[in-house]
Each structure stands twice: as structure tokens, then as C-alpha cells.
Structure 1
């Protein structure tokens, strides 16, 4: 028994000694090894160390660790790693796997009997096809005869966190590992794509900007994770080396920018929390400037700055949501804050992982993905809750209106009955009933005015609609007929509107309409003037007490402003053009206001047939 214990202790001592020397023995009873504990590393301050120096001085400042995955955080200097392999197995072909897709510059040196036998240069500074095995990670074949020893040196450099999840395995284990690794990634990206498409269709149906910003935020987060896991370089831009080196920092800041827009739109920060709205504006401008300067900035600082900015952005979302819930009692804001709180936990785990504060493991490496899935689901639930709240508010408003109508009718009937009685004892009661009637009628009038205002406003641009145009034009015509004043009408029609829809989509065409409406509101600002949109692409402007010269001048200003301010849709810049018709008349007969509208539309037709992008002035017979 004593002899067996001595042999066991000697075996343990021999095994621990091989680990201290950085050697892993490959045996036939095991087909997968983690090399983390056998790795030793050295930070190359200044980047001047060559492989020859390390081979001649093998004990020069190497650091050993006991972590399964060495994690040094961000480093602007290159880092060398070394380990040794001894093959005690009949298997001759093994595969090294570095399960870390984001490495800018990786040099691998195979050293046999003190001489470099092979050098492999890979990383994001080379095209994807330069890798020995076309995989999102870094896979290197290793051929070792039985009893042969191989020393491995790795030189890692770049703006990403320095981590070394190094494994060696047989081909069967590698195939099985990669097959099972793709399943959770497929589920994650499929979920992100489904959520983005679903909410984009909701935006098209409701024109609610919160859905659009949620879609953009979802896509930017999904693309960032697609880049982080190495799929983007493998499938989207395998030859675009410059873009691969820049895209991680770009999508960090794009995700932040989209989150600021979504937070502001969903919680209505401008109205409810103006101070936090200004804070979000400062953070957004900071990220926008960083993205614009990406071609000239070092990726190391762009990414670190993005990781740092993610914390105040997430805290802004959480605090804004809780404040809106506390002040306004909005249940959707509570779900909103909960979603961002979970996302913050995932982001903090990933950030502390990349900064070297926490070790790299499944939770810290994929915490952001898990947090993203939960966050997107809760945000979708918050948006659905918001729809339910708004629908209930509309139903409540309708019920209240119906109740007021019934109350007004009943009060009126009671008042008539009391009036017929003609009794002094009932006079006080009559006055009280009449007061109740007046109150109910006043509230009903307020409700009717609100409904009438909603019916007179265009849902896309916020200006008046066709009902507003015809009603106002008729009233102004009759007024000018009585007062003997001139009345002018400007009709503005977008040229090539169908082409804009075909080339850029319905969202871009709606934004073009909003752009034209904003220009009209800036130029035509008299209180008596009315700006409306009727038809798909046509705006009408009613100008009381304005002659043809004045109306023509305003039309020319609008045309010039549209030319000067093309609409920037982010992915494309649209140069819209308009044809403008101007009609001016002195009304001599009532109820002929439609003649003025037909004259202005006829002038638009003449402008379009003459090439478009011009102003045509005409005078109707009236």
C-alpha cells in the first residue's frame, strides 16, 4: 500500500511538473484538451520581440496562470503565448482551435527541436480565405507522430481584448463541437430577425416611430453580435479587411445611437423629461461624431470608448423608464426599465469580461446575447402594452362621449318637462338641471372639437388634410367675396413620387412628404394661411388677402428650399423635386371656390408637362 501511494504521488508530481513546464501530453484515452492552464504569456512592450529571441532565451519573463482561459483585457501592446505538446497517442492529426473570432493579428509558430518549422499568419488583417481552415474561429491542423514533441508560440496583437481560449482536439470532436455550437447562434439571430421584421410591419401599419426605432435598434444589436461571433467576416464581407477592422466600433456606436432614438420616442422624453432628453442628445451626438471619425481613429480607442458609453446609455434608459412610470403611472415604462436592467447586467458581464475584470466563461461571454434576447422580448411586450393602453384610452373616450350625449339628452328632456310645469316650487330645480345641461353640452362640445381636429389633420405630415382644405377654401372664398379681397391658392405636387417609393420604399416616401411639409411651414407662417396635404403627393396652401405676385414669390421660395435641402434617409440621399401651380382670383360669385382649386391644379399640370421642378401661375375666369 505504501509503495502504491508513493507511485501515485510520483505520478501526480510528474504530471504537475509537466503543466509547470507548459507541456500537454496527448493520450489515446482523451480526444479534447483545453490548453489554457499550460499557457504562459509575455507582454511585448513596444512590440519589438522576435521569435528568435524567445527561442534563444526560453525563460525570459514568461508569466504562468491557473485560468482555463487566459484573459488579459485590452492591451495596446502585442502579447506572446507559448505551450508545448507531446503526442502519446496513435492519432497523428490534431486540430488547434482558438475559439475567439475577434483577433486582428495572430502569428502562429510551430517549433520542432528548437527550430521554427512553420509560420502561419492569420487574423482580421488578412482576407478570410487566408485561414488554414475556413471557420469563424481560428483552426490550425497539427501533425504529430507518436512520441514527437511540438512547441507552439502565438503572437496576438490588435484593438480587441486579449483572450486565449485554446483547445486541441481530433477531427471528429471538432466537427461535433462546431455542429452543436451553431444551434444556439442560429436561434439567437433568428429571434432577432423575427422581432425586427414583426415590428417593422407594425411601423408600416401604425406609422408609430417607436416601432421604427425599435427595429433599427434590434438590427444594429443583431449585426453587432453577428460581427462579435465571427459570422459577418465569414459570410458578409470576407474580402473587406479594412471594413472588418472598423465595423465592430461602428456598430457599437450605431447601436447606442438607435437606442437613444428609441428611448426618446418610446418615453416621449422631450415632453416628459426634458433634462434627460438633453442628456441623451449629448450622448447621441458623441456617438455620431465618433462614427464619423472612425476612418481616422484607432480602433482600440473607438471600441473602448463605445464600451464605456454603453453604461450611461443603459442607465439613462433605466432611470427614464422608472421616472415615467413613477410620475405618469405608465405600465409600459415599467416593462421598459426591467428590459434595460436585464440588458445592463448582460452588457456589464461582457464589458468586465473584455476589460479583464471577470474571467471568460459561458455566462460572461454570452451574457450580452442572453440579455439581448430577454430585453427584446420585454421591449416588444412593452410596445404591445402601449398599444393596449392607447386602445383602451380611445374606447374610454368614446364611452365617455356617449355617456355625455345620453346625459345631455336626458337633461334636455327633464328641462323641457320642468318648463311645461310652470311651477314656482320647481324653478330652482329647473335652474340646476339647466346648469347640468350646459356643463354636459360644454364637455360634449370639447370632445367634438377634439374629434373634429383629428379628422382635419393629416396623419403622416401633421398638417391639414383634404377635409381641412375644402372647408377652409370655401369659407375664405365666401369671406373674400363679401369683403372684396383677393384669394390665392398654391398647389405643390412631388415629381417622381412613384419612383421614390419603388427605389427607396414607403418609409422614405413618407419622410419626403414630411420634409416638404416642414419647408412649407417654415416659409408660409401667417396665422391666416393654411397648409394641407390632399392626395398621395399633393399639398395645398390657402393664402387669404394675397395677390398673384405675393403667392408666386412664396411658391418660388418653396421650390428653391426643396432644391437646397435634399432629404437624407441615412442609407441614401433623395433629391426631391416639385411642380407648383399658383392661382389667384377676386371672388365675384359665391360657392365657386372649386374653380380656384381646378385652376391651380391645371397650373401644376402645365408645370409638369413643361419638365417639372418649376412654378406656373394662372388666373381663373372668376
Structure 2
């Protein structure tokens, strides 16, 4: 028997692992598909082929000049026109206090539309100055960037946008860009007003829907935290909040909508939320995977790693140097590896939901390299670097909530079963005797108040010894379980069935009740016992012997604060049932009244 149970348990574990592997393969395939689509987005357009085109990438048409002092004026830069070099490929520039100048030769554009120059990736630009010459007024300058409040930008938007004076075209325009400590990798678009408005609408719709969905998930996570009293949901809510904050800051929506006059915070929000997001993610993994259950030192190390992420924004913002930026990137990369490793490690040690957590984090883990490599200067600004993590988190957040819900539900059911053991018979699942005594007292109190009777049966499985002698103890226990089930089906849900001793059951039937009703119930109990079932031998039906009585009786006043009166009452029924066993031809005894007995308080 033990070998069979071990085999079944082993097969169950193998089946769970196979299911997890199948889901991992499907999620990997889906994530690979959308990641491939993100990478397939063209980084540059071949060139301006049609002046009526309303959106075009002109990055590769620009010529660049590096100003190492960052102090040259537009007049000085224009005078060095011969020193400008062509930008042959998308690349990052680690400026380190320098300024990058870009010159674009714009053709004559359709004057029926208003035209703009737009930079993608506003989170990686401290300051941008746009210059366009005007013979009558000199140089026209427009300004944008993280070091300037969005409300003061020439054209407030989520990323730098500059209006072009089409009357001065064809002719060159200049951009001056600065950024520290992350590398600068500009991507410049020439865009018409209708296309710019269309792009705004779709961007706001997409990111707004994402934020609304994230807030709903946060609310559901908090409801689950209150419902299940599980710290994992608290960590999840904090993780989602940091994820939403990071996306708001990284996409530029925060500076445009939430803090348009706070330039310092607009510049600092993205790295701060990135560090808090990573730290809260590690804390979340620690809570769900129960790392402390498997290794105390590893748990302390993980907790310290998470605390480092919450505190590191202080030195990062105070120093704001390339080495600190490198530490930030390394921390993010190692945190991705750490979270995945912790999930797999604890899953292999037997933490069932840790494996599902690894799958839940997978969409963000696959999308994280795009902005990370962009921040390191390896990749230029692109659709993938802007939205890979956003799309991944939109897939991840509901997955993690569902996994947490299943985990909490299973653990809550286990706790409920453990609590039920304190008030239920371990073998049959019936109510235990102390609960029966309380319900008897309440039933008697109600019966006296409304002037009716309730009934009590004491039922014995009379042929239990015969079943054990013929089929063994296991079959005897099964017979008791079947007996409990059949007794429960005879009475109503408001009635109580309790296992009083090894083979005897007490049944409390709520009123109003008459003696004739007790006789009908007794007939049903006897008939239920004689029914054939697949779990017991056909030649051994359940034979019930029972005694019944009506409550309350004026001769038995129940005490208000003790259960000795209920015990004495059931003790009397036990004696009557013992006498009934002496007569093998009789199985049911209905007591017309209860003999007078003094209450426990007077005994």
C-alpha cells in the first residue's frame, strides 16, 4: 500500500513538472514572437522620398559635431560647418560634460501643414536646444529636456518636440543635446501636425489603458491581501506600484501630466523607480518563494540585496556619475538573474508555485535587455527600447496576480482544513461532541421560547464488530465513514450529526417536531443503512440500532453555563441503547418522555 502511494505521489509530481514545462515552452514561444517583432522594427528609414510623407526618421541624414566644453554658441558652431561629420550608423554618445550638435538639411515641406521635429526617448535627454535661422529675427531657439520643466517647453509633450518654420526652408536646423550620466543615443523624426496628433492619441490610449489596468490590479491585490492576510500580496502591490511609476516616468507621461513643473523630479524619477521596482521585485520573490524556509543565510542576503535597491537612489542622485550609473545597470541585470535563480532553486526544493513565478516574470525578463542595452549605449532609441518592458509587464502583472490567487486559495484551504480538525471528527468529518452540546443547548433554548420540541437520536452501528471480523479494520473504518455519510443525508443541513463514541452517533433534529416525525426519521435511517453501495461488501449492509427522545422536558432544566446536563441526557440515552441491545429483535426505541433527572447544578 505504501509503495503504491509513493508511486502515485511521484507520478503527480512528474505530471506537475510536465505541465509546468509545457506552459514554459508556450510562454517562451509567445514572448519570443513579440520580442522578435520588437527587434524587427526598423531603426532608420531609407530617406526622404516624398515631401507629403507625414512621418519620417531623419536620424541618419544628420551630421554631428562634438563640443567638448559644452560652451560653444550657435554662431560658433555654424562657423565650423566643415567640421560636422555624417552619422553613418545609430550609436550612443557618452558625453561626460560635452554637448552633441546635430545639423539637418530639411527640404521644402508642404506649407499647408505644420511640421515638427521630434526626439524619441525623452527620459535619456537632459536638455535639447533647437535652433533655426531667420534672416529678419536672427536665431530662433526652442528648448526642452528633463532639466527644464515640461510646462516651460516650447511645445509641451511627453518627449521633446520643436515647431519648424516652413517659411525658412529649405535650409538647415541645429540641435544641441546634453545628457549625463547615461549615454545619449538620439533618434529624430520629422513629423506633420496631423500625424503628431495621431501619435499622441494612440500613445495616450495605450499607456492610459495600461495605467488603468495596473491600478485595477493593484486594488485587487490589496483586496486579496486583506482577504488572505498574506504578505506576498502586499509585496505584489508595492511591486506593481513601482512598475507603474517607472513606466510613467520612462515614457515621459509623468512629466507631461503629473509633475509638469518639477524638472528635478522629472529627471530623477526614472532611475529611482527603476531601482525601487527591482528591489520590490526581489522582495516579492523572497516572500512568494519562502526563501527563509530553505536557507536562512540566503534569505538574509536576498533581503540585504533588496534593501540596497531601496537605498541606492540616495548616493546615485547625490553623485550622479557614470560609475554610479554603471552600478545601477549592473544591479538591474543581476537582479533579473537573481529573481529567476531563486524561483528555479526553490521550485526544485519543492516550492510548487516558485516555478510558476519564474514563468510569470519571463515577459519582463525578456523585455528588460532592450532598455538596459539602450541605457548602456549599445542600442539606439527605438520602439523596442521604449515599450518592450511596458508590453512585458502588461502580460506579467495579471499572470502574477493569478498565480498568487491560486497559491493563496490553496494555502487558505489547507488552513481551513487544519482549523476544521479542531471541530470535526478526523475519521468521519462529523461535528465533535463539545459542538453538539452547544447546539443542543441553543436548540432547547429556542424550543422553549417558541413552545415546540426538537429531537435527539442516539444511533449505533450494531454490526461493526462483524464487519471488522470478516473484512478487517480498514473496512470497519470505511463502514463508519459510510454510516456518517448516510446519517447526514437523512437529516437537513440545519440538523447536527455527531460521532459520540467509536460506533455510536448522536443526531440532533431541530424543531418543531412531533413523536410521529421521529418514527419516520428512524425508518429512513434504518432503510439508508440497508442500501447497497460500492464501497462495502454486498453481504454486509449497515445495521443501525437507535434510541430517540424529544426535547425539551420540563423535568430537565438545562444549565446555562455548563454542558453536564447535556452529557447526563445523552448518558441516559446510552443506557437505554445498551438495554435495547439485549433484545436482538428490536432495533428502534422511541422514548415517549424523558425521566425526571435533577440538573447538573443540583446533582
TM tier relative to shorter chain: 0.5 to 0.7
Aligned pair in 2 of structure 1 residues 301, 370: CA closer, same or farther (>3 Å)? Answer: farther
**Equivalent of residue 83 in structure 2, options 26, 37, 60:** 60
1:44 is matched with which residue?
A: 67
**Whole-angstrom CA distance in 1 between matches of 2:308 and 2:398:** 28
Whether the 8 Å CA contact 1:87–1:144 is kept in 2: the answer is yes
Residue from 347, 365, 368 that aligns with 2:368: 347
Does the Cα contact within 8 Å between 1:249 and 1:302 map onto a contact in 2?
no
User: Does structure 2 retain, via aligned residues, the 8 Å contact 1:71–1:356?
Assistant: yes
> Hey, what's the Cα distance between the residues in 2 that align with 1:267 and 1:101?
37
Structure 1 range deviating more: 299-308 or 272-281: 299-308
Q: Is the alpha carbon distance of 1:404 and 1:121 closer, same or farther for their aligned partners in structure 2, counting shifts above 3 Å?
A: closer
Counterpart CA distance in 2 for 1:407 and 1:164 is 70
- Alpha-carbon distance in structure 1 between the residues aligned to 2:336 and 2:236: 15
Q: Rate the CA distance shift 1:196–1:356 in 2: closer, same or farther, 3 A.
A: same
Q: Cα 1:232–1:300, aligned 2, differ >3 Å: closer, same or farther? A: farther
> 1:212 matched to which residue of 2?
234
How far residue 398 of structure 1 moved from its aligned partner, in angstroms, is 7.2
* Partner Cα distance (2:349, 2:225) in 1: 27
2:364 match: secondary structure? helix
Q: Relative to structure 1, is the Cα distance of residues 393 and 94 closer, same or farther in structure 2, using a 3 angstrom cutoff?
A: same
Work out which of the residue numbers 376, 382, 389 in structure 2 matches 1:368: 389
Q: Distance in 1 between matches of 2:95 and 2:409?
A: 46
Matched, 1:318 2:340: yes
Post-superposition shift, 1:366?
1.1
Partner residue of 1:569? Answer: none
Residue 173 to residue 88, structure 1, CA distance change in 2 (3 Å): closer
Any residues of structure 2 matched to 1:61-140 within 5 Å, and which?
Answer: 62-67=85-90, 71-72=92-93, 77-87=98-108, 89-91=110-112, 93-102=114-123, 103-111=125-133, 117-140=139-162
Pair 1:274–1:349, CA change in 2 (3 A): farther
Please give the secondary structure, in 1, of the residue aligned with 2:142: strand
Gaps of 5+ in 1: 1-22, 421-425, 438-590, 592-622
Whole-Å separation in 2 of the counterparts to 1:407 and 1:197: 37
Going from structure 1 to structure 2, the CA distance change for 1:161 and 1:187 (only over 3 Å counts) comes to: farther
Give the alignment's Cα RMSD to 1 decimal. Answer: 3.8
The answer as to whether partners of 1:192 and 1:222 remain within 8 angstroms in 2 is: yes
Distance in 1 separating the partners of 2:429 and 2:152: 81
How many residues get paired? Answer: 401
Contact 1:88 1:146 in 2 (8 A): no
Equivalent residue runs for 1:161-172 within 5 Å:
161-172=183-194
Q: Which stretches of structure 1, 4 residues or longer, exceed 6 Å deviation after superposition?
A: 23-26, 398-401, 413-418
The corresponding residue for 1:550 is none
The structure-2 alpha-carbon separation of the partners of 1:104 and 1:88, relative to structure 1 and needing over 3 Å to count, comes to closer
Structure 1 contact 32–168 (Cα < 8 Å) conserved: yes
Say if 2:361 is the partner of 1:336.
no
Partner residue, 2:180: 158
Structure 2 counterparts to residues 209-248 of structure 1, below 5 A: 209-248=231-270
Q: Would you say the 8 A contact 2:279–2:308 is kept in 1? A: no
Q: What is the distance in 1 between the residues matched to 2:257 and 2:321?
A: 22
Q: Under a length normalisation based on structure 1, what TM-score does the superposition of the two structures give?
A: 0.57
Task: Give, in whole Å, the separation in 1 of the partners of 2:95 and 2:393.
Answer: 23
Q: Pick closer, same or farther for the CA change 1:415–1:121 going to 2, 3 Å.
A: same
Rounded Cα–Cα distance in structure 2 between residues aligned with 1:95 and 1:284 = 43
**Mapped partners of 2:427, 2:188: distance in 1:** 76
SS at match of 1:200: helix
2:239 equivalent to 1:254: no
Post-superposition offset of 1:165? 2.2
Instruction: Report the Cα distance in structure 2 between the residues aligned to 1:126 and 1:107, rounded to whole angstroms.
Output: 11
Q: CA deviation at 1:100?
A: 2.6
Contact 1:210 1:262 in 2 (8 A): yes
Q: Spell out the pairing of 1:176-195 with structure 2 (5 A cutoff).
A: 176-195=198-217
Per-residue displacement from partner, 1:516-568 (whole Å, max 9, x unpaired)?
Answer: xxxxxxxxxxxxxxxxxxxxxxxxxxxxxxxxxxxxxxxxxxxxxxxxxxxxx
- Secondary structure of the corresponding residue to residue 349 of structure 2: helix
Q: Equivalent of 1:145, from 167, 179, 183? A: 167
Aligned to 2:536: none
Instruction: Note if contact 2:106-2:169 (Cα within 8 Å) is conserved in structure 1.
Output: no
Aligned-partner Cα distance in 1 for 2:346–2:380: 37
Following the alignment from structure 1 to structure 2, what is the Cα–Cα distance between the partners of residues 48 and 88? 32
In structure 2, C-alpha distance between the alignment counterparts of 1:51 and 1:62, rounded to whole Å: 17
Are positions 1:287 and 2:309 aligned together? yes
Given that residues 314 and 340 in structure 1 are in contact (C-alpha distance below 8 angstroms), is that contact kept between their aligned partners in structure 2? no
| Residue in 2 that maps onto 1:385 | 406
CA distance in 2, matches of 1:44, 1:222: 37
Deviations 1:135-163 (A, max 9, x none): 11222111123864233233333334413
For the Cα contact (< 8 Å) 2:230–2:408, is it kept in 1? Answer: no
